[in-house]
Every structure is written in structure tokens, then in C-alpha cells.
């Protein structure tokens, strides 16, 4: 199947500029990008001046956590059914690739690959690793039962302590087919027993997980808020830092020196605070969310000055998922639109180790593309409203939305 997208502009996300060119698709890939391409028997789609850009990449989602429904009340089969709906909605917003950072497993990834239901390309973390009393330990402080007690949350987290135990836990997730290993390296918002500034896991434990991941051809991502948690993780070889809201100049310099990537997730804090009553957030969790929200976009500014690469993440774990694209607008409060779009495309492709295959409109790349009703560099609002301003969405060259015909 050959398709020629003609009569529009192409967003060069690397340069942060529009270029006038046609785009020829052949199968799942982009065959050519140049002005005046000949159709040569290809199906021709007239873009009418619209913009072709790469599909968006969200590097921190939780499709198995519907924040509007308490997870422990759901059967695993219902979790999967809800995830299928969330995946379809995510794709309809223009996110053609996602990295799930806790909950989704290789089975869900394979279901999308086999076309059992529509969804973005998936890179899954399986169950994150947490120390006892860490961000993944969902027992309340009064609960004296062992951390491995049978409870719904156990399907989304693994509590492991000590070098041998974390090695075993990492090996188990690798056996289950994950793309990357996630660890909890600091406290967090949704956990009931740890403050945000609690730096977690001993260095030897983090090093053990990094070693296991590297030998399996994987990498480690760390949930980390504080400068010390960030520095400890990056110093041990962790590749991506999730959240990083309290990043300072020293930890940013270390990230830049080690070529670690920051995945901020700013929208979740605004939406958790705004929707706290709706999703059942306790006063304790709400206070932690407000503490993190107060840092605003400061981490973006520090990371940019230090030369730290950033990718887009949203983490709407306990907040309505329809605000996913709002992350773009929040980042634009501190960064130029061109940089925001690079983070959501080029840098996202680097995070999921698909550089050279995803994240650009260029020859040889996979045809994960959006056709936008205007110039997203001039108006990021065109990527809002649940995909309303997207005339076409293609994944691997196959239209999943097409109101242009041809």
C-alpha cells in the first residue's frame, strides 16, 4: 500500500520549523519526504495546507490504573477491559507510542500488536520494584501484615528488600517480558506511608537492579523527586528519571554528564489537586501533591540550562486521563513550543530506544504520523480537545483516523 500526502507542510521537529514537502508512505514506513513527489500509482491524500508531524510519545502512563475508579475494587479482567478503552482513547488524542510505567505487562502489549484492540505502540515496565515502606508499598502505616499480603495492589507493585531480593525481582520482571525495569527511588504522592523526600533503596540495591537490566539488554527508570534521590540513582547507572520535580543544579549537572534523561510529569499534580474529591484523594496525599505542585516548572528550567534531555510524560495515575495533552501546554509556560514538541517526539523516541525509527517525519522512519489542522508550532492548542484538530492519525502507515479521504 502506497500513500502520498500532498499539499501540506511537514514539521521538522529537530529544527523546530515547517517545511513545504510531500510525504510518500510505503507500507509501514516513510519512503520519501520532498517537494513535488510523483504519485506513481499511490493513493493521493490532499492535505489542504495542513501540517504533517510525528505521532506524540508519552513516556510515563499507567493504562491499567483508571484514576476515576479505586483499583482494588476491580477484577484483573475488568482492569484489562478498562485499559483497552484507555488505549484507544490515547491513540485518538494523537499519542501513537506510550511507555507504561507500572501495571501493563507484555500480554497487553502483545494484544495491541496483534490488533485485538486499537492502541499506541507500547513499552511496558510490568511491576515496579519498591523497598518496604517505599512508594510501592501500599499498606497503611497501621497495617502489620507482610508486604507480600494478597491484595489488589500486589498485581502492580513488587516489594523487595536486599540485594538478592531485588535481583530476583528484576529477573522475574525480565522473565515476564518487560521493556525496562522501574524502581521507586524516593517517596511519592500516592503511597500512604512515605514522605516525598524519603530517598529509597540502598546504593547496592540500585546497582544490582541496573546490573540485571543491563545484562538482559534492558535499562532502569527511577521514580525520584529529590536531588539526592536523583543523584543516587543516576550515579548507579539509572537511565531515566521520572518526575524529578525537586531537581537542582548539582543533580542536573550529573544527569547531563551521565546522559540521563528526565521525564517530568507536571500535569498530574495540577489535575490531582483539582480533582481530589472526584477521585478520592485523602488529605495526606493531597498535601503531598500540593507540595510538588508548588515547584511549578522550575525543574524544566534547571534541566534546560544544564543541557539535560527531557521527554514528555503525564502519569495521570489518579486523575482523569483526558487531560493527557495538557502536559504540552504546561511545558510551554517555561519552554518554546518547538522544544516541547521535540520532547514529545524525538526525545521520547530516544527514551524508548527507537531513535532513527520513531519521532520524525523522515525517510525510513515508521509512519506514525499526525495530520494537524494548522501549525502546532504556533498553536499547541491544536493538539488538545481529544484529537479534534487531527484530520488524520496513522500508526505504521495505517490510518486509525481519516477525515480527509483520498
pLDDT value of position 76: 82
The distance from CA 397 to its chain's CA centroid, rounded to whole angstroms, is 22
Residue 405 has pLDDT above 50, yes or no: yes
Q: What is the mean pLDDT of residues 176-200?
A: 88
Identify whether the C-beta of residue 253 lies closer than 8 Å to the C-beta of residue 306: yes
Query: How many CB atoms sit inside 10 A of residue 1's CB?
Result: 10
Minimal CA–CA distance to 324: which of 351, 304, 344, 339? 344
Q: What is the mean pLDDT of residues 166-185?
A: 97
pLDDT value of position 139: 75
pTM: 0.94
Contacts of 302 (CB under 8 A, 6+ apart): 247, 248, 249, 252
Each residue of 205-217: pLDDT tens digit?
999 999 999 999 9
Q: Which domains does the chain have, with CATH numbers?
A: 2-54+359-402 (2.30.40.10), 56-351 (3.20.20.140)
| 3-state SS class at 31 | strand
How far is the C-alpha of 160 from the C-alpha of 173, rounded, in Å? 12
Q: What is the mean pLDDT of residues 68-91?
A: 80
Residue 70 has pLDDT above 60, yes or no: no
pLDDT value of position 295: 81
Amino acid at each position: 500500500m502506497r500513500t502520498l500526502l500532498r499539499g501540506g507542510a511537514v514539521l521538522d521537529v529537530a529544527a523546530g520549523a515547517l517545511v513545504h514537502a510531500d510525504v510518500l508512505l510505503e507500507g509501514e514506513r516513510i519512503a520519501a519526504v520532498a517537494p513535488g513527489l510523483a504519485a506513481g500509482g499511490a493513493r493521493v491524500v490532499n492535505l489542504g495546507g495542513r501540517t504533517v508531524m510525528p505521532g506524540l510519545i508519552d513516556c510515563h502512563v499507567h493504562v491499567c490504573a483508571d484514576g476515576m475508579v479505586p483499583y482494588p475494587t476491580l477484577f484483573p479482567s475488568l482492569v484489562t477491559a478498562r485499559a483497552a478503552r484507555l488505549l484507544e482513547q490515547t491513540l485518538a488524542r494523537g499519542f501513537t507510542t506510550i511507555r507504561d510505567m507500572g501495571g501493563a505487562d507484555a500480554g497487553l502489549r502483545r494484544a495491541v500488536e496483534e490488533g485485538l484492540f486499537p492502541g499506541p505502540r507500547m513499552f511496558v515496565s510490568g511491576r515496579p520494584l519498591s523497598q518496604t515502606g517505599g512508594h510501592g508499598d501500599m499498606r497503611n502505616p497501621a497495617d502489620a501484615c507482610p508486604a507480600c499480603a494478597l491484595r489488589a495492589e500486589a498485581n502492580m507493585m513488587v516489594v523487595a528488600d536486599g540485594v538478592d531480593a531485588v535481583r530476583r525481582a528484576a529477573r522475574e520482571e525480565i522473565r515476564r517480558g518487560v521493556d525496562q525495569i522501574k524502581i521507586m527511588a524516593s517517596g511519592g504522592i500516592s503511597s500512604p506511608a512515605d514522605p516525598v523526600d524519603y530517598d529509597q533503596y540502598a546504593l547496592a540495591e540500585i546497582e544490582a537492579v541496573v546490573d540485571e537490566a543491563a545484562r538482559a539488554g534492558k535499562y532502569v527508570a527511577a521514580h525520584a523527586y529529590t536531588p539526592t534521590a536523583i543523584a543516587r540513582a543516576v550515579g548507579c547507572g539509572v537511565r531515566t528519571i521520572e518526575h524529578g520535580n525537586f531537581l537542582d543544579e548539582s543533580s542536573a549537572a550529573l544527569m547531563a554528564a551521565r546522559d540521563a534523561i528526565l521525564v517530568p510529569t507536571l500535569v498530574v499534580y495540577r489535575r490531582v489537586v483539582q480533582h481530589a474529591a472526584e477521585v478520592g484523594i485523602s488529605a495526606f496525599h493531597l498535601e503531598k501533591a500540593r507540595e510538588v505542585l508548588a515547584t511549578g516548572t522550575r525543574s524544566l528550567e534547571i534541566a534546560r540550562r544544564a543541557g539535560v534531555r527531557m521527554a514528555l510524560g503525564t502519569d495521570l495515575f489518579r486523575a482523569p486521563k483526558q487531560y493527557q495533552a495538557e502536559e504540552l501546554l504546561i511545558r510551554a509556560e517555561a519552554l518554546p513550543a518547538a522544544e516541547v514538541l521535540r520532547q514529545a517526539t524525538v526525545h521520547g523516541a530516544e527514551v524508548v530506544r527507537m531513535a532513527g525509527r520513531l519521532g520524525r517525519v523522515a525517510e525510513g522512519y515508521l509512519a506514525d504520523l499526525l495530520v494537524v489542522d494548522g501549525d502546532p508550532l504556533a498553536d499547541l492548542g491544536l493538539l488538545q480537545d481529544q484529537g479534534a484538530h487531527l484530520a488524520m492519525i496513522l500508526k505504521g502507515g495505517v490510518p486509525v483516523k481519516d477525515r480527509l479521504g483520498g
